[in-house]
Structure 1
Amino acid sequence: MNYQRQQQMQKPQPKYQFYATLLDGFEGYINSSRTYQEYWGFSENPSKTEEEFEQEQYQGLIDRINRVPFESEAADRGTAFNEVIDCIIENRISTTMEIKSFKESGVIAVHYKQHVFNFPFDICVEVAKYLKDALTQQFTDGIIETKYGPVRLYGYIDQLLPFKIVDIKTTSKYSAFKYQNNWQHKVYPFCLKQNGVDIDEFEYVITDFKNTWSEHYRFIPEKDVVELTSHVERFIEFLELNREKITDTKIFCLDAIEVVE
């Protein structure tokens, strides 16, 4: 038997596989009480109780695990804006949506799904210029060891620069360090390092289409791998407690290895 093939067969196969933003979804669920207090804690007549909000977050996470189709204008807007930036950086025409530039009116119009989004021309150019020459939509994955066995982590990096990973965020309202509890700035550097790419710097580029902001994070393996491992293990425990509700078995590596987010 070929030695390399034998080594591959002997290598432990992952029992779970999680894409980076799914870990964000789990983060949102376990912090649902904090989020509720932030938005409704001081309201005399909240539109929902804390228990109702937590149940919504729970069901939303289960649906996300099961890849239940859903419509989100905010998510579609973010996808459309990201495609505009990628097209400008790569000087290409989109193959997934219709994009037209109207310099005289200062907008870039995007027809995507059932929506038409009008993005400020100057914001699009500003962000694309800032990310000039970046590699876009770069897939990465890696294996993290946990007490429950090896787990595959994966995802698509929005923009990859020589010394920095960048993720674009669109929002209707921004507050400082809004994305500090996200896991992309830990998952992506971790995965890249496993593939021989040593990049510790991570930046979220954020816009509300009026202004732009940046959040910078540095991957510190000694600290971040420990935190990432703990979060992954908590998610595994959640999955096993709710296994009877999970219909999409890709997350348990029972189907083909997932290669798209």
Structure 2
Amino acid sequence: MIQYRFYPTLLNVFSRYLHGGNLSVQELIDTINRVPTPTTAAQERGVSFEEAVVKGTGEDRFDAEIIRKVRKLLPRPIVDTQVYCQLEIDDVLFYGYVDLIGKFKAVDIKTTGSYQPGRYVHNHQNLYLHALKRKGIKLMEYVITAFSADGQSEVFVESYALTHPIDRQIEEIRLFKSFLEEHRPLIVDKKIFVAPGEDADARRSQSS
């Protein structure tokens, strides 16, 4: 029976907390409770860049060559965008939206100011691949644009197949459940916990 609903951004923040990511317990709890924080310039740029690549909106804000490079790495044809994914892992419903899918691969478009290879090797979005198996998806790719201060932006790709280990993500989910139970009185986001008799589907549950 499903007792929890987790999404990858939250699990990735918890992973940072576990692995010395300079995050306090209170900051983690605020993230769990969806306490609003100001949108950073980097976040705004990421959203704008994705819209420019996928929808052609505001393309003039970015280097045309970078847009071309990223588009060249996307699946053809693009079957769907903002695809809902969910996966049951023991008593957890893992859910979220991947940017787009082709016939055989899912792609998430990322932007950063600094890139190191293997950045997404333990990312919880890798679980999308397992949620999309029934759609014939066999590969999860991150298309990463690194915007540098000198304007020399670069594009990188990380690809993960169904055979890529997810042991660390599964263990972090287990540890996150323990953290939640330890701090349960402080958790006010009603979407995290599934009440008895409640529909576990994240799309139909009531958000806090």
Same fold, TM-score > 0.5, yes or no: yes
Instruction: Render the CA deviation track for 1:46-101: whole Å, top value 9, x for unaligned.
Output: xxxxxxx342xx3332122111111122222111111112204xxxxxxxxxx444
Structure 1 residue 203 displacement after superposition: 1.3
* Counterpart secondary structure, 1:137: strand
In 2, the alpha carbon distance for the partners of 1:199 and 1:182 equals 18
**Where does 1:16-165 land on structure 2 (aligned, <5 Å)?**
16-32=4-20, 35=21, 53-55=22-24, 58-71=25-38, 72-88=40-56, 99-101=57-59, 108-109=60-61, 119-131=62-74, 132-134=76-78, 135-145=80-90, 150-165=91-106
Q: How many residues align?
A: 194
Which SS does the other structure have where 2:35 is aligned?
Answer: coil
The answer to whether structure 1 residue 192 and structure 2 residue 129 are counterparts is no
* Counterpart AA for 1:67: R
Q: Deviations over 1:110-147 (max 9, x none)?
A: xxxxxxxxx212211221232143222111112111xx
- Rounded to whole Å, the distance in 2 between the matches of 1:63 and 1:74 is 21
Closer/same/farther in 2, CA of residues 87 and 240 from structure 1, 3 Å limit: same
2 CA distance for matches of 1:227 and 1:28?
Answer: 13
Q: In 1, Cα distance between the equivalents of 2:132 and 2:58? A: 35
> Corresponding residue for 2:146?
208
In the TM superposition, what is the alpha-carbon distance from 1:27 to its structure 2 partner? Answer: 0.6
Letter of the 2:182 counterpart: L
Provide the C-alpha distance between the structure 2 equivalents of 1:235 and 1:219, rounded to a whole number of angstroms.
23
* TM superposition score normalised by structure 1: 0.67
The structure number with the bigger radius of gyration is 1
1:197, CA displacement in angstroms?
Answer: 2.3
Name the TM-score, length of structure 2 as normaliser.
0.83
Identity percentage over the alignment? 36
What is the RMSD computed on CA atoms of the aligned residues?
A: 2.2
1:234 paired residue number = 175
Q: C-alpha distance in 2, partners of 1:59/1:82?
A: 31
Q: Which amino acid aligns with 1:127?
A: V
Q: Distance in 1 between matches of 2:169 and 2:158?
A: 19
The one-letter amino acid of 1:83's match is E
Structure 2: gaps of 5 or more residues: 148-152
SS in structure 2 at match of 1:249 = coil
Is 2:169 the partner of 1:169?
no
Tell me the equivalent position of 1:6: none
Is the contact made by 1:189 and 1:198 (CA closer than 8 Å) also made in structure 2? no
SS at match of 1:128: helix
Post-superposition offset of 1:152: 0.5
Q: Contact conserved, 2:52 with 2:58, CA < 8 A, in 1?
A: no
Deviations 1:198-237 (A, max 9, x none): 423111111123110111222227x43x444322111100
Partner of residue 219, structure 1: 162
The letter of the residue matching 1:25 is V
Q: Distance in 1 between matches of 2:154 and 2:23?
A: 32
- Alpha-carbon distance change, 155 to 239 in structure 1, aligned in 2, over 3 angstroms: same
Q: Determine the structure 2 residue equivalent to 1:259.
A: 203
Structure with greater helix percent: 1
